[in-house]
Amino acid sequence: MLEEAKSLYERLTPSSKKLWMEALEAIPGGVTANIKYYDPYPIFARKAYGSKLYDVDGNEYIDYCLCYGALVLGHGHPDVVSAIEKQLKDGGTSIFGTPHELEVLMARKIKQHIPCAEMVRFTNSGLEATLHALRIARAYTRRGRIAKFEGHYHGAHDYVLISVSPLLSEIGSPEKPKPAPSTAGLPDNVIKETVVLPFNDLDATLKILRGSVNDLAAVILEPVARGFLPADREFLKGLREFTEENGVMLVFDEVMTGLRLGLGGAQEYYGVIPDLTALGKAWGGGLPFGAFVGKREVMELASPLSATHDSGKLFHSGTYNGCPIVLAAGLATVEALERGEGCQRMIQTAERLKEGMAELFDRYNVDAQVVGVGSMFQPVFTRSIIKNYRDVAKANTKRRITFDLELVCRGVYVRPGRTFYTSLAHNNDDVDKSLKAVEEAVRRIRR
């Protein structure tokens, strides 16, 4: 079935294949980020509007990738386009190199919605946001080690690029995961200094943490792992209690969940408030954005006004931090969601799609389920309970890739094997057409 899906895909996308072959001559793998590649090759986009994406062969897709969740309003939302154009026209330049009013406005907007955000610093990506959140946690606690959860992704910097998608044969017991590098080029000491924890298993997590607590600066996690696998509420509460009692910084990576569970993100949804939060993706309105936010006493370590000697301050800088065009797009995005319960509309669209997909799996007796929360979800091809990375890794990955390629061939785009996201641009007609494509794909798989 997978080979048949690939064959149909190649017949529909010859221009994408040609461009990819040309890209191979100048770009490693023909892609500028590894996530953009999938077998046999990725589609090459030409334009996008609203909920639709168009490739270089003229194929139209209902887009559920949405730049990996960044586009909560859909492609080219008029408010965002207008805000960018206005900023360029009124500001006269793309960037100032000095502080400007939009930095203050966006910081206030984040403080308004994110419960832990007493102070804000901007970055240019979610990667930078998690990097600086962990650095300031080390500076504040004066401890060196970081704990992360197996299967969670926090960007491509050394201390967190461990046990992201490890082979099940290499990672030890479920109760005590063995750290596994997720890239070549990691120093051995980085692997040794990173503690790996089992997601959604509070007893096992606390047992590991107690053995490292004296030199542990922070625990970082995605409250919804990889954008679709939610934490148990009691698990998060127990983790928060332990970190508070032991002076360990709790860091939420809300790069994926920001604006997708509601304006207050996962911490508002769960009622669990971390010490620090990393933001990105949707908060930038489709432009490169990041921020690390948190308690005033922690964030003040980054202030150049601090009386502390430089060795005791956090060094945080970046030429493009707080870029006015980015903040204009981000503010327009948040303001659009604030009107008319925008987040709830987006979530309701996801719920309808999830329920329809699950009903079709049941109707055709396919061993699959739909896992997710808010405006994010994934179909997972197993009937077993899904609680963590290992449960997902044991599912039928080949069938999932086949399913996704069948959808792409029928005008429904998601990067194969990755999370589905909805936006304000998706409507009932999109959902109806998508579920028709899902039924055709399920029937193909069932046959």
Active site (catalytic) residues: 153, 253, 281
CA dist 372 and 381 (Å) reads 14
224: helix, coil or strand?
Answer: strand
Residue 293 CA: distances (Å) to CA of 114, 249, 288, 298, 316: 9, 13, 17, 9, 13
Write phi, then psi, for 192 (nearest 5 degrees): -70, -30
322: helix, coil or strand?
Answer: coil
Q: Which of 288, 293, 264 is nearest to 277 (CA)?
A: 293
Question: What torsion, rounded to 10 degrees, do the Cα atoms 180, 184, 190, 192 define?
Answer: 30
Q: In what order do the strands lie in the sheet with 420-421?
A: 369-373, 376-380, 420-421
- Identify the residue whose tokens are 């997601």: 199
CA dist 24 and 29 (Å) reads 6
